[in-house]
């Protein structure tokens, strides 16, 4: 059926990792067909593409294994330390091999153009703005969640830059005033990624591709400007509408992640952005294919985290970024289950407004 999201694999029903099971059940109840993995004589399914956009927290600040006693608080709150806790062993069992190496998926891929280089390959640690493989962002667990639920190969295109506001930098075209330069840059990187699929991901894209969803994780910089806070809800609605229009996917599933790194005791300005994000997701213009993901509960204290002075980056706590990605992934799958024709067969591009 044209435009249908690729069917889910029956392997998910047998999967021991309970973190994924509830979403699979939701998809089953929604009537999405299940099928075993395709045979060699079948045409390859389209590559399912998710856009992950935002500012520095979408770039990824979760520390994996750095443990300097002064600069990383002895490794508290790193992915390695959190995983070593027996209470968390099952939750993180899928991210390492039986030999203890980090899993590199061959069915989920990431593309991220950082300030210095292009990072692309199978999903694992290290797809952030930092050199080496010592950090993660929301893409890490998001990719594991959607990868376990969808038979087709998956590509996560990250388009994120630190210190950028929705009010100015990402300002969408239909909002009043000049369109933000990073809105244009975001679209340019998406188009560049799609144009290079055959070269960068030849096997995964052999069956074509479909835009499957958009994830937005941003808001910090808008806190510090009165007008930015006041307009955030409306600007976010415009952003969702414009992305759907410019990518030619009018019902593209969109997940909005809450600005939750202040925890439950956030200040007035942060609470205003959170309220605006939640309200935007519920606006009738975009609500049908949009989900708001609360993240406040995922904040961890500075003393339990590697970057004790970086509250704007969730103190670098890897568990926070893992849980954010997990929640975003499940929210995306629920949207897809309600909208089985959500992905596009058209090449994206600008059309007259």
Question: Mean pLDDT throughout 10-14?
Answer: 30
Sheet containing 254-257: which strands, arranged edge to edge? 118-122, 108-113, 154-160, 47-54, 209-217, 254-257, 290-293
Q: pLDDT tens-digit profile of 72-84? A: 999 999 999 999 9
Listing DSSP states for 227-276 in one string gives: HHHHHHHHHHHHHHHHHHHHTT-TT--EEEE---TTGGG--HHHHHHHHH
Predicted confidence band of residue 40 (pLDDT cuts 50, 70, 90): low
**For residue 39, what pLDDT band results from cuts at 50, 70 and 90?**
low
pLDDT score recorded for residue 212: 98
pLDDT of residue 299: 98
Q: What is the pLDDT of residue 30?
A: 37
* Predicted local confidence at residue 54, as pLDDT: 99
Residue 36 DSSP symbol: P
Residue position matching structure tokens 């989920």: 108
H or E element that contains 111: strand 108-113
Alpha carbon of 189 to those of 44, 162, 336: distances in Å? 25, 16, 24
What tokens were used for 158? 């990250």
pLDDT at 41: 67
Measured distance CA(170)–CA(20) in Å, rounded: 33
Mean pLDDT for 280-292 is: 98
Q: What is the mean pLDDT of residues 142-147?
A: 98
146-188 pLDDT per residue, tens: 999 999 999 999 999 999 999 999 999 999 999 999 999 999 9
Please name which of 59, 100, 99, 64 lies closest in space to residue 82, comparing C-alpha atoms: 64
pLDDT at 350: 40
Task: Phi first, then psi: give them for residue 183, nearest 5 degrees.
Answer: -65, -45
Residue 80: strand pairing partners: none
Q: Are 231 and 151 in contact (CB under 8 A)?
A: no
| 40 vs 325, more confident | 325
Residue 242, pLDDT > 80, answer yes
Q: Mean of the pLDDT values across residues 294-313?
A: 98
Which residues contact residue 237 at a Cβ distance below 8 angstroms, ignoring those fewer than 6 apart? 280, 283, 285, 286
- pLDDT tier for residue 338 given thresholds of 50, 70 and 90: confident
**Confidence band for 329, pLDDT divided at 50, 70 and 90:** very high
Cβ neighbours, 10 Å, residue 96: 14
DSSP 198-214: HHHSTTTTTT-EEEEEE
Residues of the chain by 3-state class (helix, strand, coil), percent to 5: 40, 15, 45
Query: At which residue do the structure tokens 């069992």 appear?
Result: 93
Predicted local distance difference test score (pLDDT) of residue 340: 64
The predicted structure's pLDDT at residue 84: 95
The CATH homologous superfamily of the domain defined by 8-13+22-35+43-338: SGNH hydrolase (3.40.50.1110)
Coil, helix or strand for 109? strand
Q: Which residue has the tokens 């009018």?
A: 250
């Amino acid at each position: 059926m044209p435009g249908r999201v690729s069917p889910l694999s029956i392997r998910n029903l047998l999967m021991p990792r309970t973190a994924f099971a509830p979403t699979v059940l939701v998809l089953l109840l929604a009537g999405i067909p299940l099928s075993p993995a395709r045979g060699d004589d079948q045409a390859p399914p389209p590559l399912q593409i998710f856009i992950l956009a935002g500012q520095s927290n979408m770039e990824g600040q979760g520390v994996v294994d750095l443990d300097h006693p002064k600069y990383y608080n002895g490794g508290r709150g790193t992915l390695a330390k959190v995983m070593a806790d027996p209470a968390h062993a099952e939750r993180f069992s899928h991210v390492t091999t039986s030999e203890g190496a980090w899993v590199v998926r061959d069915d989920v891929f990431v593309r991220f153009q950082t300030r210095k280089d292009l990072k692309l390959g199978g999903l694992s640690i290290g797809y952030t703005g930092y050199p080496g493989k010592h950090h993660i962002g929301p893409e890490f667990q998001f990719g594991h969640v959607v990868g376990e639920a969808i038979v087709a190969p998956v590509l996560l295109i990250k388009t994120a830059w630190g210190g950028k506001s929705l009010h100015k930098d990402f300002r969408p075209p239909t909002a009043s005033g000049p369109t933000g330069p990073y809105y244009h840059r975001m679209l340019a990187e998406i188009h560049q990624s799609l144009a290079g699929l055959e070269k960068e991901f030849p096997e995964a894209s052999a069956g074509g591709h479909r835009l499957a969803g958009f994830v937005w994780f941003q808001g910090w910089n808008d806190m510090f400007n009165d007008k930015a806070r006041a307009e955030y809800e409306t600007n976010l609605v415009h952003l969702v509408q414009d992305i759907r229009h410019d990518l030619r996917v009018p019902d593209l599933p969109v997940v909005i992640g809450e600005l939750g790194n202040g925890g439950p005791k956030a200040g007035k300005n942060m609470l205003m952005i959170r309220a605006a994000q939640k309200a935007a997701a519920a606006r009738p213009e975009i609500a049908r294919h949009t989900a708001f993901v609360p993240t406040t509960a995922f904040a961890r204290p500075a003393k339990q985290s590697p970057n004790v002075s970086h509250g704007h980056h969730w103190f670098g706590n890897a568990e926070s970024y893992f849980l954010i990605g997990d929640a975003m992934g499940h929210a995306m799958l629920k949207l897809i289950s309600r909208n089985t024709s959500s992905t596009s067969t058209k090449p994206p591009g600008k059309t007259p407004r």
